[in-house]
Amino acid sequence: MFQVDGLDESAHASVFRELIASVWMADRIYETSLERRYGATRPIVWGLVSDTNRWDRASGLTPGRYSWREHEGRRVRVGNAEELGFAIEWIEPPYEWVEGRFVHGERRFLKGPVARGGFRARLRDAEGGGTLVTAVAYVAGSGPLMPLLGPFMRMKFRAALRRYLDGLTELMVALPAASPATANDEGSATILARNLIASRPYDALTQGPRSPTAQSELRHRAARLQGKGLSPELVERLTESLAARPDEEVAQMRPFELASRWGVDRRELLRVFLHATRAGLVDLRWQINCPVCRVAAQVVGALADVTGKVHCAACNIGYGVDFGKHVEAVFQCHPAIRTVETSVFCASSPSFLPHVVAQLSVEPGTTRTEPADLAPGAFHLRLLAGGDTADVELAQGAGLRVAIGPRDVRGESVPVPSASEGATAEAQPMLTLASSSDQAAVLLLERGGFDSGAVLGSVIATFPDFLDLFASEAPATGVELSIAHLALLFSDLTGSTALYERVGDARAFAIVQEHFRDMTEVVALHHGAVVKTMGDAVMATFTSPLDAVEAAIRMIGKCRERHGALGLGAKLGVAAGPCLAVRANERIDFFGTTVNMAARLQAKAEGGQIVVSEDLAAHPDIRARIAALPCAPLKAALKGISAEQHLIAIDVPPCP
């Protein structure tokens, strides 16, 4: 009989009832585990296995409707769905992962018959090469339905795991044997996996659904691209993608990311997308990305719908929109071609954060250590709850130690002990989190300088085809979208007044128009765009000030070569800095001090000269470019600019 010394009979009964209740209320865990060996590197395998959004879809779960809310004093991501006839609601705590090593995600249910459920996978190098994956799917709960529901879910997950892991085997069949390369060496593991999936024939299990294609409408609209000076190969490849690729690949197409995947020129593919938009093959959308988490905070259908401030629900912050840095042009298959349907099955999936190498939680006042494959280079550290961030440069073969405070984070490169220092053969770089905070924290380790493949506003603002094809795409009237950095060029034609008097208006006008065509060609050649012409002047935008200076030098040479005998010459001013994108005369235009500066610098130049600020001339790339050209310092008061300016006049001599 159950007996505890020192307790009377009623106390014994109470203890017994509490024990029985605790046993009854304890979560029963129903889990299934499978192991697979793949002949590919850990980064690629991890990129596929860690895509919990893809796994949840393949396992037959219902897509969720996600929102952010306050729960027990914390801001949490909450999902809602219907599963097996039950209305369910769950919290998704921050998933945990180290790229190339493991992933663990769990749902904690607020409504429904189970208490929690999740997926975890751990990867290690297999003997003889390749990657060994151990994957586990589970549910847990204490409710009266668990003895029936738990075994059913376990069988369902086991069958789904087997199908999915076998599908990944087929996906990776053409890959070479494993190599010791790290994720950072090869690039983002998520991008590697995404490129692999996109390179393989369509498979519903691993790639998701594919809606029907209106083939005749697709070919009819694609024919509109003929005669536009576009690459026939790129047009055909885009057309094939719109016809054959799964919905998730054509729901949000990013030209620069695709260009890297296809091994083609970025700007040429962007040209194809812009013309395809006008032809009705794709729709242009504007995605406003959060500067903190780098995830879309908003997507709108027109530039006029972009406002000066946006709120990110994930970070719970509002921020001023920088058109050049935060606004991205994305493209979606036109609904007349395909009615694309996409759903989110797991909003917390690492696949949505390709720039995050690791996301780990650490309890207050504790230290956590995980093996990590970290290549040398720059990394960015931040806490999910916000606070001060930090950057760290990691040395070759080193680990990383991160000190976490209540509202700040610091990191340092930690050498791995060598054999001569007493290290074992198994010594490897480690990621160590040491918390001095009194609260649990979640650390995000992000790649420094990660190229997301985004077509940002700074690119669109300097792209000729966009300014030509989408003249009406501009901010709403009265809205000024800031651009943190843009290079502006103003040119003017010298000798044009005398030319009109000498050859007559009609002939002179034709010559000036020919000059404009030459200038437009030179600007485009150097990755810029002509915004407008004013009289004999040209205003152009560039992402890079070096491109603007290169274009200015070429402009002077081209004008001298073509029209020098007629007494014409070009003079230019180049400036770089912040400006505003606005709507003017129902099209996009640019205003601000930098724009005014470029115009005033051009006014100070003489024929065959480029005038820039002293600071711009000191830029290492520009300094190297103009080193062989005659340069002279110049002090000048510029109209509308208060202080006297220190300038550099660059003479471009005739070619010998």
436-479 tens-digit pLDDT: 999 999 999 999 888 888 999 989 988 999 988 887 888 888 88
223-251 pLDDT, tens per residue?
A: 999 999 999 999 999 999 999 999 999 99
Token pair listed for 414: 């930690």
What amino acid occupies position 252?
Answer: Q
Residue 4 has pLDDT above 60, yes or no: no
Place 213 in a pLDDT band, splitting at 50, 70 and 90.
very high
Please provide the DSSP assignment of 628-653 as one string.
TS-EEEEEE--TT--SPEEEEEEE-P
**Where does the pLDDT of residue 19 fall: very low under 50, low under 70, confident under 90, or very high at 90 and above?**
very low
Quote the pLDDT of residue 174: 61
The second-level CATH assignment, the architecture, of 466-651 is 2-Layer Sandwich (3.30)
Instruction: Enumerate residues 6+ apart whose C-beta is below 8 A from 422.
Output: none
pTM to 2 decimals?
Answer: 0.85
Sheet order of strands, 296-300 included: 296-300, 282-289, 327-333
Q: Are strands 430-435 and 399-404 parallel, antiparallel or unpaired?
A: parallel
Q: What is the mean pLDDT of residues 29-54?
A: 93
Tell me what the pLDDT averaged over the chain comes to.
88
Q: What is the pLDDT of residue 574?
A: 97
Determine the number of helices (DSSP H) and then strands (DSSP E) in the chain: 21, 29
CB 206 within 8 A of CB 246: no
- Give the start-to-end residue ranges of the domains of the chain: 25-171, 210-340, 355-415+429-447, 466-651
Q: Using CB atoms within 10 A of its CB, is residue 577 exposed (0-12), middle (13-18) or buried (19+)?
A: buried
Q: Which residue has the higher pLDDT, 272 or 472?
A: 272
Q: Looking at residue 17, what is its pLDDT?
A: 47
Residue 185 pLDDT greater than 50, yes or no = no
Fold type of domain 25-171: Alpha-D-Glucose-1,6-Bisphosphate; Chain A, domain 4 (3.30.530)
Q: What string of DSSP letters covers 28-48? A: EEEEEEEEEEESS-HHHHHHH
Please give the Cα distance from 557 to 652 (Å, whole number).
8
8 A C-beta contact, residue 476 and residue 572: no
Confidence (pLDDT) at 8: 53
Fold match between 25-171 and 466-651?
Answer: no
Residue 374 CA to residue 429 CA, distance in Å, equals: 7
Name the pLDDT band for 18 (thresholds 50, 70, 90). very low
38 — phi, psi (to 5°)?
-120, 140
Q: What is residue 228's DSSP assignment?
A: S
